[in-house]
A and B are shown apart, each in its own frame.
Chain A
Amino acid sequence: GQQVMQIPQYQHVQEGEDFTTYCNSSTTLSNIQWYKQRPGGHPVFLIQLVKSGEVKKQKRLTFQFGEAKKNSSLHITATQTTDVGTYFCAGRRSAGGTSYGKLTFGQGTILTVHP
């Protein structure tokens, strides 16, 4: 079945340093989504990437979708303590019509930011 691998599992940074998490799928994806989960909370949607080679930015966050639509990355510039949490990628294989299909989640990257 489809697998989505995410690395690293843990990342500790000093406030102000950059952070990147990488996501790799065993199959071609129709789209990839990124979520953030604060400690004790539930995942909150950040962004969806659909097109091959797509790059999207949200303030200090930059999201990329690979040309082959099998990998993705999330980069945070100049981390802040508010960035603490677990970042998940989630890939979808089927799309279109009324079929929503399944999202396969990566294992997540737990980000700790030291002030």
Chain B
Amino acid sequence: SAVISQKPSRDICQRGTSLTIQCQVDSQVTMMFWYRQQPGQSLTLIATANQGSEATYESGFVIDKFPISRPNLTFSTLTVSNMSPEDSSIYLCSVGDRADTQYFGPGTRLTVL
């Protein structure tokens, strides 16, 4: 399985600011996914990021709020824009050559004050 790192591991941010989360993999992968895990809740898919194409967003998530980049096969970023306390969550990236086999990063714990 791939080794996946995320930066930052945690952050505390002020309302109205933006945070960019990085996801780095130690090998080339076709698909990268971004999930949100609100406190005490399950994982919800935000979007799928494939290299060379626009990210595909799930219902309830929009590009203006969660812009995603996928410049190559080992790296992706998720930006949480114009943050509010409701954005306080753990953000996880996962990777895989197919969506049916995903390996997860350690997550980024975001607190918005």
Please say whether chains A and B are actual partners in one complex: no
B residues touching A (Cβ–Cβ < 8 Å)?
none
A residues touching B (Cβ–Cβ < 8 Å)?
none
